[in-house]
Amino acid sequence: MEPRIIYKPAFTIVGLSQDGEAIKRSADHLWEELGTRFAEIPHVDPDVGFGVHIRPRNGHCYLVGFSVEGVGPVPEGMAEHHLDGHAYAVFTHSGHLDRLEETVQEIYTGWLPTSGYCSAGDFYFEYYDDHFSPDSADSTMFIFIPVKKVG
């Protein structure tokens, strides 16, 4: 499991969020609601979806959303999260989402400790573009881990 290391400039995501305990059951309802409401988001780029896992010291939040290309009001009931520019290790997850947690665990417990990099943030995100098809074994999505060189 070897990632690409890229630099992604700062960007902002607007969407729907839920705390991590509730999200362990399923995020499907958040994605479904976002699908009916994304047109409310000013300056939205609807071609790429993001699932952002934010892990502050006291919990876990999951934000599903889209990046925005401009400033505008955040629709009622939605959240906004700004991500600074970072170097990212980008991993490919192929297949059904029911194995996604295994892929993430392998990244953090297998690749990261021996990579020469360390985590550079309290978050990571899933990147869903036209390679993603939720019901297909041929589906592909990407996992972005913010990293920095060790030492």
Cα 96 to Cα 94: distance, rounded to the nearest angstrom: 7
Task: Give tens-digit pLDDT for 31-64.
Answer: 999 999 989 999 998 889 999 999 877 778 999 9
For residues 51 and 125, is the Cβ–Cβ distance under 8 A? yes
Domain boundaries, the chain: 4-71+79-149
Task: Say which CATH topology domain 4-71+79-149 has.
Answer: Multidrug-efflux Transporter 1 Regulator Bmrr; Chain A (3.20.80)
With a cut of 60, say whether residue 134 has pLDDT above it: yes
- What's the pTM? 0.92
pLDDT band at 66 (very low <50, low <70, confident <90, very high): very high
* Residues near 94 by beta carbon (within 8 Å), at least 6 away in sequence: 138, 139, 140
Cα 105 to Cα 116: distance, rounded to the nearest angstrom: 18
